[in-house]
């Protein structure tokens, strides 16, 4: 018995030691799941409707798509899209040591719309305060929460103003699929969302990709006034009404006269016709509530707008991107149709 015990004990210890890596791995998985749940709960408290997480890695599928899109000059005069190509595809170049991309959606679908149906239209996302400021504040609060509750976590907040492919990350994070109109579509809530990210050096529990539910529907492609949706999930930015009314700084080409359907800033056509947006629900973000004066502007108010009125009505709005001269250019272009 005495000679048998050490051998038996050695076998037992070896067996238990071999279990340690799996035990440690299980602890890591449990910790990641707990931290992810904590972060998602805080994101919801801050007003984000959806929060998903994906592994910070190279976007292999997006690389050839982005390269092809740029080679075909679908970015038009938006030359900044050609910058930082590698960073757009690899978040670890934006945040060294990055392990997770936290994608967030913030609803902007309004409960009210412009009163005068004949008046020039602006995209719904621009009804309220400029989303860049609203979302950046929420992201900073979420990042601070992570640092305070979890510890030494490095990361950066991104909202539509850095080389980050928002829709690709939101898709990888399970928040929806990219529709034929190029917008991220959520099965339960449609597509009227802003997308934002936190890229951090913390390992979390990763979500799976959602199935594409567009099927054979191509209403968005048929409805686009300028035929900017040249293929499923491929939007020629240089043909989009949003590009002409916001990004383009020169005169709007005469080739698109009569095709704007009264859009003076942005365009919502491809979203308005999407069947999934029947599930859109009005947002609850007070900063996105439109000014009454904006909603009640008549066709005459728009075409007779002064710089003083522009500064008052749009003082905190994304419409300020066009400046007064840009908006007047758009309005004059509509008026000559």
Active site residues: 160
Measured in degrees and rounded to the nearest 5, phi and psi for residue 326 equal -65, -40
Task: Tell me if 160 sits within 8 A of 196, measured CB to CB.
Answer: yes
Task: Tell me if 124 sits within 8 A of 267, measured CB to CB.
Answer: no
For helices 131-150 and 4-45, angle between their N-to-C axes, nearest 10 degrees: 150
Euclidean distance between CA atoms 227 and 243, whole angstroms = 13
Euclidean distance between CA atoms 156 and 164, whole angstroms = 12
Choose among 335, 283, 259: nearest CA to 108: 283
Choose among 259, 273, 268, 80: nearest CA to 161: 80
Euclidean distance between CA atoms 215 and 213, whole angstroms = 5
Euclidean distance between CA atoms 294 and 311, whole angstroms = 12
- For 67-99, b/e burial (b = at least 16 CB within 10 A) is eebeeeebbbeeeebeeeeeebbebeebbeebb
Euclidean distance between CA atoms 255 and 197, whole angstroms = 37
């Amino acid at each position: 018995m005495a000679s048998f015990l050490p051998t038996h004990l050695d076998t037992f210890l070896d067996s238990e030691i071999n279990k340690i890596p799996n035990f440690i791995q299980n602890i890591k998985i449990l910790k990641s799941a707990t931290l992810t749940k904590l972060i998602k709960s805080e994101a919801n408290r801050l007003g984000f409707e959806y929060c998903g997480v994906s592994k910070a890695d190279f976007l292999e599928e997006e690389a050839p798509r982005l390269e092809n899109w740029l080679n075909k000059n679908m970015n038009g005069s938006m030359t900044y899209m050609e910058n930082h190509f590698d960073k757009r595809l690899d978040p670890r170049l934006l945040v060294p040591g990055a392990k997770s991309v936290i994608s967030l959606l913030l609803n902007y679908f309004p409960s009210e719309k412009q009163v005068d149906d004949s008046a020039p239209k602006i995209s719904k996302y621009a009804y309220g305060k400029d989303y860049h400021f609203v979302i950046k504040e929420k992201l900073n609060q979420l990042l601070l929460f992570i640092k305070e509750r979890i510890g030494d976590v490095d990361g950066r907040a991104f909202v539509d103003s850095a080389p980050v492919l928002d829709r690709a990350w939101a898709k990888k994070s399970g928040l929806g699929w990219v529709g034929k109109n190029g917008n991220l579509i959520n099965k339960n809530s449609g597509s009227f969302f802003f997308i934002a990210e936190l890229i951090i050096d913390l390992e979390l529990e990763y979500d799976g990709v959602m199935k594409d539910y567009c099927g054979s529907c191509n209403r968005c492609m048929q409805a686009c006034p300028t035929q900017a949706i040249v293929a499923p999930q491929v939007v020629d930015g240089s043909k989009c009404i949003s590009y002409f009314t916001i990004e383009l700084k020169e005169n709007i080409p005469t080739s698109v006269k009569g095709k704007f359907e009264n859009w003076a800033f942005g365009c919502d056509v491809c979203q308005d016709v999407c069947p999934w947006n029947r599930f859109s629900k009005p947002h609850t973000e007070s900063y996105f509530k439109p000014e009454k004066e904006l909603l009640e502007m008549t066709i005459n108010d728009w075409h007779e707008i002064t710089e003083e009125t522009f500064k008052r009505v749009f003082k905190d709005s994304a419409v300020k991107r066009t400046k007064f001269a840009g908006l007047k250019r758009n309005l004059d272009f509509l008026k000559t149709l």
